[in-house]
Amino acid sequence: MVKEEDYKEFMELTPEQARSFIRDSANWSIRDIISSYIPHEATVLDVGCGNGNDAPRYSSEKYMGVDISLPLLEAAKEYCPSHSFKQCDAANLPFEDESFDYVFCVSLLEHLHTLEDTRDCFREMVRVAKKEVLVSWHNPPYDEGDTEIKNWIDQTGRHFGCRVWSNWFRTSDLTEGILGPTMKLKHTVYHDKLSFWSITK
């Protein structure tokens, strides 16, 4: 289970920091790719939804966004008042098995501090998805080749994420015991740094 104190920089954002957090994100292209996978009529869970950057791409009646940060969720509700948002731990999602047709996650995993946290979040996304899990994060696992790792500063001027990145692991470290025998994982790397996984069930 993710500990809130490990991610306090996200819990202590001011309202203005929360509103502006990655609004000018460089990874909009991967967000467009993910939304292209998801039919308009599908139910969708956005894990680590932040301040609601992705919500406008989806029907308010079909979308649910979750995040651990209350300041970001307040900004999300202000940005997309007709969409649904909920505070929760991504490693312990409060939903039944296969509750959503599609589950996606953009730029969350690189902020998790341990492989255990990353595995727990990944396991939960697979559990609550009915059809497909779509995951994108910076810094692909190291069995896909060397990747330049840079700590980054967003426009709020704060550093986000752990300096010892958690995702220096092999793909098998993350997926072992989580992916069932009928599930298929496709791995693509975009712009030499954005790792994108499509897991079909």
Q: How far apart are CA 186 and CA 34, in angstroms?
A: 13
| pLDDT computed for residue 28 by the predictor | 73
| pLDDT computed for residue 142 by the predictor | 57
Mean pLDDT of 62-91: 96
Mean pLDDT of 167-182: 81
Q: How many domains are contained in the chain? A: 1
Q: Per-residue pLDDT for 107 more than 70?
A: yes
Contact 112, 68 (CB under 8 A): no
| pLDDT computed for residue 7 by the predictor | 67
Most confident of 63-72, 165-174, 176-185: 63-72
CATH number at residue 69: 3.40.50.150
Q: How far apart are CA 164 and CA 173, in angstroms?
A: 17
The strands making up 100-106's β-sheet, listed across from edge to edge, are: 84-87, 63-67, 44-47, 100-106, 129-138, 194-200, 184-190
Task: Give per-residue pLDDT as tens, 109-158.
Answer: 877 777 788 889 999 999 999 999 999 876 655 555 444 434 333 333 34
Q: How far apart are CA 9 and CA 186, in angstroms?
A: 33
Q: How far apart are CA 193 and CA 128, in angstroms?
A: 27
Q: Per-residue pLDDT for 53 more than 70?
A: yes
For residue 133, what are the domain limits? 4-200
Q: How far apart are CA 75 and CA 15, in angstroms?
A: 7
Contact 171, 107 (CB under 8 A): no
